[in-house]
Homo-oligomer: A and B are copies of this chain.
Amino acid sequence: MSTATAATVSSQYDQLIGLVRDANLLGSTSALLGWDQETMMPPGGLAHRARQQAQLARLSHEALVDPRVGDLLAECETDRALTADPLSATAVNIREIRIDYDKATKLPTALVEELARVSSVAQHEWALARKASDFTRFRPHLERIVELVRRKAECFGWPEGGEAWDALADLYEPGCTAAEVQRVFKPLRERVVKLLDRVLGSKTGPSNAFNELPLPIDAQERFARSVVERLGFDFDRGRLDRSTHPFCGGSHCNDVRMTSRYTETCLNDGLGSAMHECGHGMYEQGLLEEHIGTPMGQAVSLGIHESQSRLWENQVGRSRSFWTWAHGQLPASFGDAARRFSLDELYGAANIVEPGFIRVDADEGTYNLHIMVRFEIERAIVAGDLAVKDIPGVWNKLYKDYLGLDVPDDRRGCLQDIHWSFGAMGYFPTYTLGTLYAAQFFEKAVAEMPGLPNEFAAGEFGQLKKWLNRNIHAHGKRYRPGELCTVVTGKPLSADPLMRHLEGKLLPLYGG
């Protein structure tokens, strides 16, 4: 296999990478401003921030569609030294830059700029509407967003037999289509519902008492910080702050900004969010510095990204072995209040299954049902089969059907998530795909390193982190999502590992 090395790469390639890095540098500035808006910016800064973001979006789009990029790409694509080995850094970068370039050139700069401006405002209005639990306040902004993302989908186009939603989903999960998602979701829903019937019908089950223990917010935040540091998040190259909606942003592997949110009555809420974001954060930190600003230094897809957050949140954070360690850590942070809970009670409290309104607080058993609701709605919205004004009604109906719940207000209903406010439609299913990938990756990791649970119980997480660094993070975009799954686990993505994980854990806890 002939691998192009730094010494042999062409000057065309160097120029191409220089232009792409410049475009992505603007993107990283925009990411920082986005983080600031959610965590630090005073409310008065909003209008100006929207102008800043629109300008950055315009400039980075202009940089990306620069005809020189197209010319250099065409030259690089015919240079065998660069592309002979399709898994070499040069070939991967050329392949992915081509995809990005073709996408970008289909979008008019004015649309990019307008989407940035509109979503910066809509994101803020969403936060206010959510606070006031008032969908009508958010509605005009969302209508405008939907109009713009549909226009965006039309610019990209989609293959025969597909639909507009596919064109948007492809941005987050390359190759993802609504029909394919539907094929995965339908049987998964059946298996999950069957499991939930057994779990929720059980007469025994873990106690929720620990989740009702009020603990000071500041102490919770310090504890969450100490845990994510222990998992392996590097605070010299990142931060953990608070925001309305937990997220992981920032701009590159050496400056990763995570957030969580804390509620006084449930440590597992804030801790779980922090561990979740930490999985994202360690993926970002695990991308290689030498590839900053190029596809080889970027995550594969949102599904794979989510696999990392889910894995640390669920496979690690809700495991008995994790709580064996954490159980010993709690008294130092929370004193006697925590001391009276046994390991069994803590482990059980992390695994309560109970249908609830809020996706980010959902347990592992019901989580994917939340995603299915959102997928159905956004698919219909993008197709033009559902009007924005009708979202609350449909949302509430689906929650009744899928989770058996009567949604009491929009704050706990269709206003709970930030995603649609910035035009991210086609995004939600990546959460479930990520959950499936997480289970499959973790099953493989344990097969290779059977000592992992014992390590967790001793508060050691380095082996798992290194395994993920090596097998997933360091590759950047070398593989496409499904391909990476096969390379790492030897098998294509399947729902079996997730179901084994859920059944193996929940049935014993619920007297099964």
Contacts and interface: CB of A to CB of B under 8 A. Distances in A.
Interface of A: 22, 25-26, 28-29, 32-33, 36, 40-45, 47-49, 51-52, 55-56, 59, 234-239, 251-252, 254-255, 292
B28 A52 contact: yes
Contacts of A44: 234, 236-238, 254-255
Contacts of A26: 55
Contacts of A29: 29, 33, 52, 55-56
A78 B450 CA distance: 81
A189 B255 CA distance: 47
Given A22-B55, A25-B55, A32-B36, A47 B239 contact: no
Nearest to A49: B255
Contacts of A25: 51-52, 55
26 contacts: A22-B55, A25-B52, A25-B55, A28-B48, A29-B52, A29-B56, A32-B33, A32-B36, A36-B36, A40-B40, A41-B255, A42-B236, A42-B237, A42-B238, A42-B254, A43-B236, A44-B237, A44-B238, A44-B255, A45-B251, A45-B252, A45-B254, A47-B254, A48-B255, A52-B251, A59-B59
**How many of these chains are in the complex?**
2
A256 B292 CA distance: 31
Contacts of A32: 32-33, 36, 52
B52 A239 contact: no
A472 B40 CA distance: 29
A22 to B, nearest CB: 7
Nearest to A21: B51
B40 A239 contact: yes
Given A36-B32, A59-B59, A255 B51 contact: no
Nearest to A51: B25
B254 A292 contact: no
A14 B237 CA distance: 44
Contacts of A49: 255
Contacts of A234: 44
Nearest to A285: B44
A235 B45 CA distance: 11
A265 B149 CA distance: 56
A237 B47 CA distance: 12
A148 to B, nearest CB: 22
Contacts of A59: 59
Given A25-B55, A51-B25, A55-B26, A42 B252 contact: no
Contacts of A55: 22, 25-26, 29
A124 to B, nearest CB: 13
A497 to B, nearest CB: 34
Name the 5 nearest CB pairs between A and B, nearest first. A45-B255, A44-B237, A44-B254, A29-B52, A44-B236
A380 B59 CA distance: 42
A48, A49, A56, A252 — which one has the most chain B CB atoms within 10 A of its CB? A48
Contacts of A43: 236-237
- Greatest chain B CB density within 10 A among A32, A36, A236 is at A32
A51 B32 CA distance: 14
A275 to B, nearest CB: 19
A45 B255 CA distance: 5
B236 A48 contact: no
A42 B251 contact: no
A55 B40 CA distance: 24
A254 B252 CA distance: 28
A289 to B, nearest CB: 9
Contacts of A251: 45, 48, 52
A40 B255 CA distance: 10
A22 B236 CA distance: 34
